[in-house]
Structure 1
Amino acid sequence: MLKGMDPRLSAEIVHVLMLMGHGDDLVICDVNHPAATIAAETTYGRLVDMAGCDIPTAARAILTLMPLDSFVPAPVSRMQVVGDPDGVVPIFARMQAVVDLAEGRAVQVQALERFAFYEAAKRSFAIIRTSDSGPYGCFILKKGVVDLPEL
């Protein structure tokens, strides 16, 4: 355990976040997402579980350490509702509030069709699966630059 760090962040999650570079993508998903299958194709190569968390709680913890990319118009992607591309489910607003608060600004979130989302997830750095029951709890966060002082 470390001071000042959310206790939900396991050593493996912190390790994954430290390995990621600017522009790398991180998937945070619910239990319905085919996470284990897709995770095998990511850079990290295996699934990371964040049991006991819903998606907003997991994202809130992760975003205390990881900034979102400010060089792209939409640093967050989510899955569209199948059969209703303009459909909205409660998790969308909950995540919007989390990312906006974490960044201190309005963050654009883009919607991806289900299979386009799966393809994007395969190209991500890693997948973190929460205990969230969904539905449509599938988000991709693009890592930004951490502004550090010179050594």
Structure 2
Amino acid sequence: MLHNIPPILSPDLLHCLRAMGHGDEIVIGDANFPASSLGPKVMRLDGIPATATLEAVLRLMPLDRFMPDRALTMQVVDDAAAVPEIVAEFQQILDATADHPAPIVSLERFAFYDRARTAFAIVQTGETRLYGNIILKKGVIGSA
């Protein structure tokens, strides 16, 4: 056991977060997200909500302060202006937990999938709410 590490983070996920470099991206996907078919390494956190996963990851991983699109979500199909409840929760978690909070940027569904294909890894959660997907861009420790 280790101190101050959220217990929902698996050893594989901790290794992944440590192995990521500046500018690498990680996807936190909901239970419906097509994680296994996109290509990057997939780690599963079945039964864990995406919101809890986001908060745990942000406690350890710095966000890239130089990029405005350091947190991205998927737009609602046929209503790009809609903000699902879970996305509003993601924003609250980013504001409260991230070292460099920023407004979430949204991407059209297939653009989100394309971006996810280039991610370092995907974490598939047990989140059942629709649009419970977010991409985070890793920053550096000590960036002012």
Q: What is the TM-score of this pair, normalised by structure 2?
A: 0.94
Equivalent residue of 2:60, what SS?
A: coil
RMSD: 1.4
Unaligned runs of 5+ in 1: none
Q: 1:124 to 1:15 in 2, by over 3 A?
A: same
* 1:57 positional shift: 0.4
Deviates more, 1:121-130 or 1:97-106: 97-106
Partner of 1:27: 27
1:5 aligns with 2:5: yes
Q: Partner of 1:90 in structure 2?
A: 85
Equivalent AA in structure 1 for residue 6 of structure 2 = D
Deviation at 1:52, TM superposition (A): 2.4
The CA deviation at 1:106 is 4.4
Cα deviation digits, residues 64-105 of structure 1 (max 9, x gap): 110111011121000000011111210011000111111266
- Pairwise CA distance, 1:108: 1.8
Q: Distance in 2 between matches of 1:104 and 1:128?
A: 21
Is 96-105 or 65-74 further displaced after alignment? 96-105
Matching of residue 146 in structure 1 with residue 138 in structure 2: no
- The yes-or-no answer on 1:122 pairing with 2:122 is no
Unmatched tracts of structure 2, length 5 or more = none
**Cα distance in 2 between the residues matched to 1:24 and 1:104:** 16
Paired residue total: 143
Residue pair 2:59, 2:98 contacting (<8 A) in 1 also:
no
Percent sequence identity is: 41
Displacement over 2 Å in runs of 4+:
103-106
Counterpart residue number, 1:68:
63
Distance in 2 (CA, whole Å) between partners of 1:90 and 1:47 is: 25
Counterpart in the other structure of 1:15: 15
